Amino acid sequence: MLFFSKMEATANDFIIIDTIDNNFLYDIKLLSKYLCDRNRGIGADGVIFLYRSKIANFKMRIINKDGTEAEMCGNGIRCLAKYIHEKYLNDKKIFNIETLAGVKTVEILNNGKEVKIDMGRPIFSYKKIPVFYEDNKSIDIKIENDIYEFFPISMGNPHAICFRDNIEQIDLEKIGKIVENYKYFPNKTNVEFAQIINRNNIKLRVWERGVGETMSCGTGTTAAVIVANKKNLTDNEVNVELKGGKLKAIYDENAYLIGEARNVFEGKIDL
């Protein structure tokens, strides 16, 4: 019998498994594929496992629904931060969570309604992202009769950002799969299509590596805002409209992500 919490942040949904007081012996990648199955399991975009940490207040690991492990997840860490705050740290509004992309500082805002994440500094070096391409150059990918210009960046996990005038017309199922697995991205990549509304507002569609199109992506949101700011398309504080709702990203050397996180339900499942 496994106990879990189901949470969502701008409709990006996660299963939280708390291992702190449990003798947890499951293969987390196989378990995650089963739990994320929306027909036979619980259903989610990913599973977040909560652990004790030797270098921070807590530690998280996030497994995508296909069983691959992600370095970081902006929406997922907001969900986990809300869970931690309500279960373990009711009086503490600022604390740290260890991730594969480093230790992230989280802050609980508006009486627990919103969570602010210090996403750290972006990585522009193609060698570190990694990208097999000439550093600091955009990547043109021809798909059928169109050429898409992508800008690689990492927020601890890899992203490729493309700016288009009408992102709703994009066949994200087709293009997302091609770009995610393109030859220049040895670890695959997340793919974001951004539409500039004005200097403080953009729209975004997301194809997540190992997941597919999702309603929202926190690291993708910050990555898109940073690239837009670097290209002087927006200011450094931007509201981002996604299919699952709205987020705010701020870029000032470090990147910050602000948005809601919500408990959906708790339960237990036989394994």
For the record, the structure tokens of 223 come out as 């990555």
User: Three-state SS for 23?
Assistant: coil
Cα 195 from Cα 217, distance rounded (Å): 15
Q: Dihedral sign for Cα 203, 209, 212, 216, please.
A: negative
- Any idea which residue has 């050397």 for tokens? 253
Helix extents (H) in 136-200: 172-180
Residue 36: active-site member: no
User: Quick one: which H or E segment has residue 84?
Assistant: helix 74-87
Cα 18 from Cα 50, distance rounded (Å): 5
User: Three-state SS for 217?
Assistant: coil
Q: How many CB atoms lie within 10 A of CB 210?
A: 17
Selected catalytic residue, list 36, 79, 162, 217: 217
Residue 73: active-site member: yes
Active site positions, annotated: 73, 217
